[in-house]
Amino acid sequence: MSRPLSATANPALRLVPGLFVAIWSSGFVVARLVAPHAEPFTFLSLRFLLTVCVLSAVALVAGARWPVGWRGWRDALLAGILLQGLYLDGVFWAVSRGLPAGLTALITSLQPLLAALVAGPLLGERVSGRRWLGIGIGAIGAGLVLVPKLGPSADAIPPVALAVCFAATLALTAGTLWQKRFAATVDLRTNAAVQFLGAGLLTLPLALLFEDGRFDLAPPALAGLAWAVLGLSVGGVLLLLWLIRREAVAGVSALFYLVPAVSAVMAYALFGETLAPVQVGGMVVAVLGVALASRN
């Protein structure tokens, strides 16, 4: 059994959760950045294909071991369909259909509650009272961050996009649990490559059936694609898989409560979105909740 992250001998490893949150939060910025320049399934198909190429090259150079047998490939492909395909397809589609990026981040931040509810029955993980308290505090903080974005424009939110985003959050939760239970000992590089292959097998047919293949060769689209491949898909996902392996699912999932706050800061820096005092307070509350839920 792997040791908890906070018990490791290398203090630098304690920076991994913060790095993961920063990278993961940038995904909502990318979704907003590329939405005017590319159709969601077309963009994601390119992202998945390029990521498979990059991760496969890394794995081949390192001599990493690929999944063994039909079951090993099945587990990795299904994890990819859930963690990458259904989740990212739903998020990017919802944003492209008018769901505000901030509200999207808030909906996906419900993932820790969902994971905590089912981690016990499915994985035998005991969620302590302290961790439940931290998860609850984190939920309050995440809500405070986005309260100003749920004002007068809330009535204009497309209900279908809202439902798709929530379904994407369910897929993310299911993928996290599947990865923890069935792929806890595999090589992270080859496992991630097969995961993105599964995501591509799901997304490419959607792009061919429902889209025109539009991808403008504009700097925002190209920059978004480069970061989505190298930063999010390679860096962020490898960090997520590593954290899932090292930590309890409920503790890792609590990190997602920080995503709306960090996304709000990025949106302010890149797009000029202002932060209300209640949002700043919500960030502090979310950080405290995550610290409490993640403490060993």
The pLDDT tens digits for 233-283 are: 888 888 887 887 776 666 676 777 778 778 878 877 887 766 678 777 877
**Residue 2: predicted pLDDT:** 44
- Listed in sequence order, the DSSP H helices in the chain are 16-34, 40-62, 69-80, 87-96, 101-108, 111-123, 129-146, 159-182, 188-210, 219-227, 237-246, 249-254, 259-271, 277-294
**Identity at 179, one-letter amino acid code:** Q
Confidence of residue 93 (pLDDT cuts 50, 70, 90): very high
**Residue 156: predicted pLDDT:** 54
Q: Is a pLDDT exceeding 90 seen at residue 114?
A: no
CB burial of 123-139 (b: ≥16 within 10 Å; e: otherwise) equals: eebebeeebeebbbbbb
5 in a structural domain = no
Question: Which SS3 state, helix, strand or coil, does residue 119 take?
Answer: helix
Q: Is a pLDDT exceeding 70 seen at residue 216?
A: yes
62 in a structural domain = yes
Mean pLDDT of 113-142: 73
Mean pLDDT of 141-164: 69
Express each pLDDT in 35-55 by its tens digit: 899 999 999 999 999 999 999
Query: How many domains does the chain divide into?
Result: 1
> Which one, of 99, 100, 24, 45, lies nearest residue 225 by Cα?
45
Confidence of residue 151 (pLDDT cuts 50, 70, 90): low
Q: Is a pLDDT exceeding 60 seen at residue 153?
A: no
4 in a structural domain = no
Mean pLDDT of 140-167: 72
Domain encompassing residue 53 = 16-294
6 in a structural domain = no
**Residue 1: predicted pLDDT:** 41
Q: Is a pLDDT exceeding 90 seen at residue 182?
A: no
200 in a structural domain = yes
3 in a structural domain = no
Which of 45-49, 75-79, 102-106, 241-245 tops mean pLDDT?
A: 45-49
Mean pLDDT of the chain: 81
2 in a structural domain = no
**Residue 152: predicted pLDDT:** 56
**Residue 142: predicted pLDDT:** 74
User: What whole-number percentage of the chain has pLDDT above 70?
Assistant: 82
Among the ranges given (2-11, 19-28, 274-283), the one the predictor scored with the smallest mean pLDDT = 2-11
Q: Is a pLDDT exceeding 60 seen at residue 177?
A: yes
159 in a structural domain = yes
What phi and psi values does residue 165 have, to the nearest 5 degrees? -65, -40
The pTM of the full predicted model, rounded to 2 decimals, is: 0.78
Distance CA 66, CA 252 (A): 25
Mean pLDDT of 125-152: 73
DSSP assignment of 29-84: HHHHHHTTTB-HHHHHHHHHHHHHHHHHHHHHHHTPPPP-HHHHHHHHHHHHIIII
